[in-house]
Amino acid sequence: MFGLIGHLTSLAHAQAVANELGYPEYADRGLDFWCSAPPQIVDTIKVTSLTGETIEGRYVESCFLPEMLANRRIKAATRKIVNAMAHAQKHGIDITALGGFSSIIFENFNLYQIQQVRNIKLEFERFTTGNTHTAYIICKQVEQASRQLGISLSNATVAICGATGDIGSGVCRWLNARTDVKEMLLIARDRARLSALQEELGRGQVIGLEEALPQADIIVWVASMPKGVEIDPNGLKHPCLIVDGGYPKNMATQIQHPDVYVLNGGIVEHSLDIDWRIMSIAKMEVPARQLFACFAESMILEFEKLYTNFSWGRNQIGVEKMEQIGQWSVKHGFKPLLVN
Ligand code: NDP
Ligand code: OCD
């Protein structure tokens, strides 16, 4: 059985959907309430591969909210993640993806140390961040959507916001090794990590966001921002392809400009309908078929009977592993979401 650990994007979002999902006691409650709420299994999922095999999974809501980080409720945030992992393990889930901020919190707050959660000893090999598949899908979106829009990578400047992160560094490695992209602009806050990445790649310009945006033909957003930033589409190149892989979204602006194309980044479309209700809450356009690539990674590992933490640790996503998960992704019927 596979599992998905996820969370909602804001307190307002959580309050709005709690009622709809049959948890009226969670609606209208403030951050304190969510800080003390236990994890819940809120969906049972069935997915069929293109090979014909059907697998079953569970969605575990951790009850983490990004406001917990913004309000320095760090202890609550870390408890949400380890409790959700213990809940998944207790329910016999063999391989679980740590969606959105779950893996970021796990890594940033070094939760390896908390292996014992009440009577459960966490078995970390039952969990995967899902980031190898996410990085692979974002790269395929860049390659295929740029072709759709007539942007040639060999003439293109690609800005990667969150370049030094787990997904961002994987994307940079792929663009460097597997494409002929002309220029890479590397954006993040920590200068030392940016220099280390630049040295590893042997290329790339370290630059601030404001300076990078007007120069980019393609912008990949993979920064771990609890809240999105506003940008002015008139200050971008035209055409410009934006692939926003953030959860919550890195861009707060709803862009409506004929020459700026915004793609929901790190999203796959499955070839067959999936029997679940969570993706309508996550506001997918086609909720029966579209899902987060990190979630798809745990399904792929279940289809392949690979009960191992395929994606683990930080900044270790290499192109060979991306290619490997990519082959399985295609085999089981997942495709990157492209421009309509
Ligand atoms: P990491 O924590 O590994 O990396 C985050 C990166 O963002 C770092 O480079 C960090 O560098 C940078 N960053 C953070 N804040 C800012 C800021 N304000 N301005 C510029 N850069 C910033 O995160 P992941 O790679 O694991 O995840 C990245 C994003 O992808 C998250 O939003 C996550 O929720 C989302 N995600 C999407 C998935 C999907 O299936 N679509 C799956 C998994 C994750 P620094 O701190 O130096 O600024
Ligand atoms: C990307 O990184 C993936 C993150 C995935 C987040 C998934 C969002 C799924 C939304 C469904 C949540 C339903 C929660 C209902 C809460 C009710 C109280 C227990």
* 183-196: pLDDT as tens digits: 999 999 999 999 99
Q: Which residues, in sequence order, are CB contacts of 137 under 8 Å at separation 6+?
A: 266, 267, 268, 293, 329, 334, 336
d(CA 38, ligand 2 centre) in Å? 14
Cβ 129 vs Cβ 247: under 8 Å:
no
**What pLDDT, on a 0 to 100 scale, did the predictor assign at position 253?**
86
CA distances from 144 to 30, 243, 278 (A): 43, 12, 27
User: What residue type is assigned to position 196 of the chain?
Assistant: A
Indicate the domain borders of the chain. Answer: 2-131+269-329, 135-265
CATH superfamily entry for domain 135-265: NAD(P)-binding Rossmann-like Domain (3.40.50.720)
- Pick the residue with more confidence: 329 or 18? 329
Give me 80's structure tokens: 């949400």
Q: Which of 306, 315, 313 is nearest to 324 (CA)?
A: 306
A 10 A CB-CB count for 324 gives 15
Cβ 198 vs Cβ 255: under 8 Å:
no
Average pLDDT, the chain: 96
**What pLDDT, on a 0 to 100 scale, did the predictor assign at position 226?**
86
**Residues 248-267, mean pLDDT to the nearest whole number:** 94
**Residues 218-229, mean pLDDT to the nearest whole number:** 95
**What pLDDT, on a 0 to 100 scale, did the predictor assign at position 340?**
83
The answer on pLDDT for 229 being more than 90 is: yes
Q: For ligand 2, say whether the CB of 248 is within 6 Å of any of its atoms.
A: no
The answer on pLDDT for 221 being more than 90 is: yes
Complex ipTM = 0.98
User: Which residues contact ligand 1 via a Cβ below 6 A?
Assistant: 100-101, 103-104, 130-131, 134, 161-168, 187-190, 193, 222-225, 245-247, 266, 292-294
**What pLDDT, on a 0 to 100 scale, did the predictor assign at position 21?**
82
Query: Which residues in 14-30 are b (16+ Cβ under 10 Å) and which e?
Result: bbebbeebebeebeebe
Q: How far apart are CA 53 and CA 256, in angstroms?
A: 41
Ligand minimally distant from the alpha carbon of residue 66: 1
Q: For ligand 2, say whether the CB of 39 is within 6 Å of any of its atoms.
A: no
d(CA 30, ligand 1 centre) in Å? 26
Instruction: Tell the residue nearest (CA) to atom 16 of ligand 1.
Output: 223
Q: What is the DSSP string of 184-236?
A: EEEE-S-HHHHHHHHHHHT--EE--HHHHGGG-SEEEE----SS-B---GGGS
pLDDT band at 219 (very low <50, low <70, confident <90, very high): very high
pLDDT, one tens digit per residue, over 99-137 is: 999 999 999 998 999 999 999 999 999 999 999 999 999
